[in-house]
Amino acid sequence: MQEESLNGRVSLVIGAGATGDGIGNGRAMALTFARRGALVVAVDRDLASVERTREMVLAEGGQCLALRADAAVSADLQAAVQQTLERHGRLDVLVNNVGIVPLGGPVELAESDWDRAFAVNVKSAFLACKHVLPAMLRQRRGAIVHVSSLASIRSPASPYCAYAASKAAMNGLSQSVALQYAGQGIRSNVLMLGMIDTPHVREQLAGTAIDGVDALMARRHAQSPSGAMGTVWEAAAAAAFLASDAAAYINGTELLVDGGLHRRVG
CA–CA dist 117, 152 (Å, integer):
13
Give the bridge partners for 43, in sequence order: 14, 67
Cβ partners under 8 Å of residue 237, min gap 6: 32
The residue ranges of DSSP E strands in 49-128, in sequence order, are 63-68, 93-96
Taking a C-beta distance cutoff of 8 angstroms, is the pair 237, 31 a contact? no
Distance of CA 97 to the CA centre of its chain: 2
SS3 call for 36? coil
* Nearest Cα to Cα of residue 188 among 153, 117, 137, 138: 137
Is 163 an annotated catalytic residue? yes
CA–CA dist 125, 145 (Å, integer):
10
Taking a C-beta distance cutoff of 8 angstroms, is the pair 114, 158 a contact? no
| Burial call 134-156: b when 16+ CB within 10 Å, e when fewer | ebbeebeebbbbbbbbbbbeeee
* Nearest Cα to Cα of residue 154 among 142, 166, 164, 144: 164
First to last CA, the chain: 38
Which among 160, 163, 181, 249 is annotated as catalytic? Answer: 163
Give the bridge partners for 256, in sequence order: 192
Residues carrying an active site annotation: 163
